A = this chain, B = another copy of it.
Amino acid sequence: MSARALPYRPHNHDACVSQALAEARSICQQQNARLTPTRERVLELIWQSHKPLGAYDVLAKLTSEGHSAAPPTVYRALDFLQQHGLVHRIASLNAFTGCAHTGEHHTGLFLICRTCGNVLELTDTGVSDAIHKAASAEAFRTEAITLEVAGICPACQAEQNHE
Chain A interface (Cβ within 8 Å of chain B)?
A: 1, 4-5, 8, 91-92, 109, 111, 113-114, 120, 122, 124, 126-127, 129-131, 133-135, 138-154, 157
Contact = CB atoms under 8 A, between A and B. Distances in A.
A152 B139 CA distance: 9
Main DSSP-derived SS at the A contact region: mixed
Given A139-B157, A154-B140, A157-B139, A134 B145 contact: no
Nearest to A153: B140
Copies in the complex: 2
A142 B135 CA distance: 23
A69 B65 CA distance: 43
Contacts of A134: 109, 122, 124, 126-127
A126 B4 CA distance: 26
